Amino acid sequence: MPSSTRRTFDRHLQILLEQVLVLGSMVEQAVAQSVTALQRRDRLTARRVYADDQRINEVRFAIENECVTLIATQQPMARDVRILAAILEIITELERIGDYAKGIAKITQMLSEERTGSSIPGDLQQMADQGLSMLRQALDAFVTGDAAAARQIPAGDDAVDGLYNKIYRELIRQMIADTTTVEHANLLMWTAHNLERLADRVINICERTVYVSTGSLKELDLADGVQLTEIQ
């Protein structure tokens, strides 16, 4: 690649990486707000999170279009292609995490009025905090090309899984003790599931970081747990 073309490509790539961080920040904010809205029964904020998902989708597609344009016009080399391919995968993962936030916002609106006195497991907030911490670390590792850091991040998924299992058991006990809580508990179970899946998608982001550095795409961790269809 000629030096002038190299400089042009590097400049566009840097802009792309910055846009990925912007998208990541939008998704992080959406998840945090959705969980806060659930805890506070804040349907106004929940509706806003739900509506703002469209903007997340738009940013994702704008980044995708720019990646395709660079591939078509800049003749990227092998590692460059891996970076662009990784970006395409990562923005898809981020968009899906945004869908989980949207799902949680929908759950807040679905909670029946007569059960507003029911408790929200505090561990849901811990799940969100742990997952979002992993997400920030994963995006930082990708942007800086730190494959060693990317390999370490999936270890945090154990804490998320532990919290998920704790919430699951708690909600099952609640439903057995009082069958009138089944609908409420089931919605909260979906919330926990969405947060558990968030952490799984962070692991996918870490795998792409390692892929860029090594050229080898391997699973860093295998996610266990109940397979459900996300509420969107």
Q: How far apart are CA 34 and CA 49, in angstroms?
A: 6
From 203, 213, 88, 210, select the one nearest 134 (Cα to Cα).
203
- Name the token pair of 154: 């999936």
Please report whether residue 170 resides in a domain: yes
- Asked, for residue 229, whether it belongs to a domain, the answer is no
In a domain, 78, yes or no: yes
| 62 phi/psi in degrees, rounded to 5 | -65, -40
Question: pLDDT for 50-83, tens place per residue?
Answer: 999 999 999 999 999 999 998 888 777 888 889 9
The verdict on residue 15 lying in a domain is yes
Q: Is 228 a member of any domain?
A: no
Q: How far apart are CA 65 and CA 18, in angstroms?
A: 15
Q: Are 212 and 85 in contact (CB under 8 A)?
A: no
DSSP 217: -
Assigned domain for 225 exists: no
pLDDT digits (tens, 9 = 90+) for 172-193: 999 999 998 898 899 999 999 9
Mean pLDDT of 197-217: 91
CATH number at residue 73: 1.20.58.220
Give the number of domains in the chain.
Answer: 1
**Structural domain containing residue 180:** 3-214
Between CA 14 and CA 12 the distance in angstroms is 5
Residue 84 lies in a domain: yes
